[in-house]
Amino acid sequence: MLRSHVLLASVLGLGAWAVSTSDAVFASGGEVQAPAEFTGEVKPVFYVENVQASAPFFRDVLGFEFHGFSESNAEPYYAEMSAGSLKFGLHNPLNERHEAWVGHQRLYLRVMDVEAHRTRVLASGGDAGEVVETDWMDFFIVPDLDGHEIVFAETSEARHSIDPW
């Protein structure tokens, strides 16, 4: 399918134009379909070598909420975590393709106070990098047990030129 923005314009007396846009989805045959009805929720999943080791690290060191494990044959393979309203998962690899993803992902999370969160991570034994200040955010990176990069960031209208969130 091909997504395109359809521009609708019409002449209103005295040469004025009224313009509106709508998202339209074009199927391969060219017919217009209604856009998908997404909820706006996203579920990131990190593939980790050992979900039983990673879940406590994400909870105790990084400060995420742990909601429990899913099991297969009495063995945990998935951990449900959250950061505020964002839920995400830690998952043992299911195949060789997933094994290749272990340690190669990055997740950005917004925090209210990047310096305070960095202090918390360090006090909990995390390997928090230095805070980097940029035009769009201040952030630091923490590698997890597998090498994934967890980025904690803060933005402020007073200090940053754009808000990437």
pLDDT at 97: 94
Q: Using 50, 70 and 90 to split pLDDT, how confident is the model at 2?
A: very low
pLDDT tens for each residue of 107-133:
999 999 999 999 999 999 999 999 999
C-alpha 102/C-alpha 58 separation (Å) is 15
pLDDT tens for each residue of 9-36:
323 333 333 434 445 555 666 677 777 8
Q: Which of 31, 29, 75 is nearest to 51 (CA)?
A: 75
More confident residue, 48 or 30: 48
Can you give the residue ranges of every domain in the chain? 2-33, 45-154
Assigned fold of 45-154: 2,3-Dihydroxybiphenyl 1,2-Dioxygenase; domain 1 (3.10.180)
Q: What are phi and psi of 50, to 5 degrees?
A: -140, 100
Q: Say what the alpha-carbon torsion angle 68, 125, 154, 44 is, to the nearest 10 degrees.
A: -30
Matching residue, tokens 């209208």: 157
Give the pTM.
0.74
pLDDT at 123: 97
Mean pLDDT (whole number) for 35-46: 85
